[in-house]
């Protein structure tokens, strides 16, 4: 990594410190970077009307000549930014960037479309393309630096933000429910289960009229609560939330194929709650806090009177009751 950075800095310094004569202006275009463009309109791919310039971009794209496509599309955006051809030019730019594997830049180009041209007939298609790009990052694709050429790292935080932009751009589009769910999946991969639950609950609430989405969101929220509960010792509150979430899921979607898994998870969570309460009772008893110990031994009995801990809990309650009446006893 350090060698790459050193090399790139030396190249940049060389370009800056050693001047050279350029036969044409050096032009920067977003997503494309720097390239030379002859003065005036002498280049073979330049045209004097927006419609003709876009046709050049279209033909080049059909021929898989992405360099010319990007030059021509960028020229439409630079010279005729308010024309009716600008949205299509921006779309072609995004398609070329995707084809070249520059997904971040492609996502940004598509984002320009939804921001600047909300009435374009490509709006839904653009959101789906952004969704597919975000899915690639969810799958582990690296984010890049230096104009998108140098792989840096995977980032679930940046991926979640991409899905968030899709939802914000079209909250009631066909792709938004899936994007909202995938915000939760990205947060799960971060092991940020609290944020995952929020994302899933938002999906279940906003898209409650779509049973497939709502059921998946409710199950994933319960699963995230479950994961959060198992990463925190004696986190009784989160375990209770997980049980409640699984119960809601089973109540609303009793025919879902994941109900059996939810039932098993509830049994496991309740067993963990019993074990946790028994351990807390032992802690109080060890510190001679008899009342607190009896309270938690009783919790064990109320949660599951047939559990392996129940017999021990009953026995300890009988032992501790006399001590509760005589605080000075040891």
Q: Which pLDDT does position 285 carry in this prediction?
A: 85
* Residue 68 pLDDT grade (very low, low, confident, very high; cuts 50, 70, 90): very high
Q: Which pLDDT does position 330 carry in this prediction?
A: 47
* Residue 324 pLDDT grade (very low, low, confident, very high; cuts 50, 70, 90): confident
* Residue 15 pLDDT grade (very low, low, confident, very high; cuts 50, 70, 90): very low
| Per-residue pLDDT at 28 exceeds 60 | no
| Per-residue pLDDT at 194 exceeds 80 | yes
Q: Which pLDDT does position 209 carry in this prediction?
A: 96
Higher pLDDT, residue 12 or 136: 136
Higher pLDDT, residue 13 or 271: 271
Q: Which pLDDT does position 157 carry in this prediction?
A: 96
* Residue 70 pLDDT grade (very low, low, confident, very high; cuts 50, 70, 90): very high
Higher pLDDT, residue 234 or 144: 144
* Residue 10 pLDDT grade (very low, low, confident, very high; cuts 50, 70, 90): low
Q: Which pLDDT does position 200 carry in this prediction?
A: 98
- Extents of the domains making up the chain: 21-100, 103-190, 276-330
Higher pLDDT, residue 276 or 172: 172
Find the mean pLDDT for residues 68-81: 95
Q: Which pLDDT does position 21 carry in this prediction?
A: 42
* Residue 17 pLDDT grade (very low, low, confident, very high; cuts 50, 70, 90): very low
pTM: 0.79
Find the mean pLDDT for residues 78-88: 94
Find the mean pLDDT for residues 64-92: 95
For the chain, give the secondary structure using H, E and C: CHHHHHHHHHHHHHHHHCCCCCCCCEEEECCCEEEECCCCCCCCCCCCCHHHHHHHHHHHHHCCCHHHHHHHHHHHHHHCCCCCCHHHHHHHHHHHHHHCCCHHHHHHHHHHHHHHCCCCCCHHHHHHHHHHHHHHHHCCCCEEECCCCEEEECCHHHHHHHHHHHHHHCCCCCCHHHHHHHHHHHHHHCCCHHHHHHHHHHHHHHCCCCHHHHHHHHHHHHHHHHHHHHCCCCCHHHHHHHHHHHHHHHHHCCCCCCHHHHHHHHHHHHHHHHHHHHHHHHHHHHCCCHHHHHHHHHHHHHHCCCCCCHHHHHHHHHHHHHHHHCCCCC
Percentage above 70 pLDDT, the chain:
82
| Per-residue pLDDT at 181 exceeds 90 | yes
| Per-residue pLDDT at 312 exceeds 80 | yes
Find the mean pLDDT for residues 157-167: 97
Q: Which pLDDT does position 307 carry in this prediction?
A: 85
| Per-residue pLDDT at 71 exceeds 80 | yes
Per the prediction, the chain carries an average pLDDT of: 86
């Amino acid at each position: 990594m350090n060698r790459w950075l050193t090399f790139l800095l030396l190249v940049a310094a060389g370009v800056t410190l050693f001047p050279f004569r350029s036969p044409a202006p050096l032009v920067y275009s977003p997503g494309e970077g720097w390239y030379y463009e002859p003065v005036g309109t002498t280049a073979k791919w330049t045209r004097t009307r927006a419609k003709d310039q876009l046709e050049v971009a279209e033909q080049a794209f059909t021929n898989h000549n992405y360099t010319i496509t990007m030059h021509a599309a960028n020229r439409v955006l630079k010279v005729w930014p308010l024309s009716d051809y600008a949205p299509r030019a921006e779309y072609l730019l995004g398609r070329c960037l995707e084809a070249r594997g520059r997904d971040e830049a492609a996502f940004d180009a598509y984002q320009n479309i939804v921001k600047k041209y909300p009435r374009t007939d490509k709006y839904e298609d653009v959101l789906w393309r952004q969704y597919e790009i975000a899915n690639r990052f969810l799958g582990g694709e690296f984010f890049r630096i230096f104009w998108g050429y140098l792989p840096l790292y995977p980032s679930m935080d940046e991926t979640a933000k991409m899905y968030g932009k899709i939802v914000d751009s079209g909250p009631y589009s066909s792709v938004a429910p899936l994007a909202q769910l995938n915000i939760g999946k990205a947060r799960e991969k971060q092991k940020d289960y609290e944020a995952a639950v929020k994302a899933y609950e938002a999906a279940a609430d906003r898209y409650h009229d779509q049973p497939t989405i709502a059921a998946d969101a409710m199950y994933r929220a319960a699963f995230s609560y479950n994961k959060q509960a198992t990463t925190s010792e004696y986190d009784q509150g989160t375990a209770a939330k997980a049980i409640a979430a699984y119960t809601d899921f089973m109540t609303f979607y009793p025919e879902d194929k994941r109900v059996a898994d939810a039932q098993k998870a509830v049994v496991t969570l309740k067993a963990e709650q019993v074990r946790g309460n028994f351990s807390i009772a032992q802690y109080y008893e060890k510190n001679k806090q008899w009342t607190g110990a009896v309270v938690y031994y009783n919790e064990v009995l109320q949660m599951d009177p047939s559990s392996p801990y129940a017999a021990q809990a009953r026995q300890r309650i009988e032992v501790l009751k006399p001590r509760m009446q005589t605080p000075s006893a040891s």
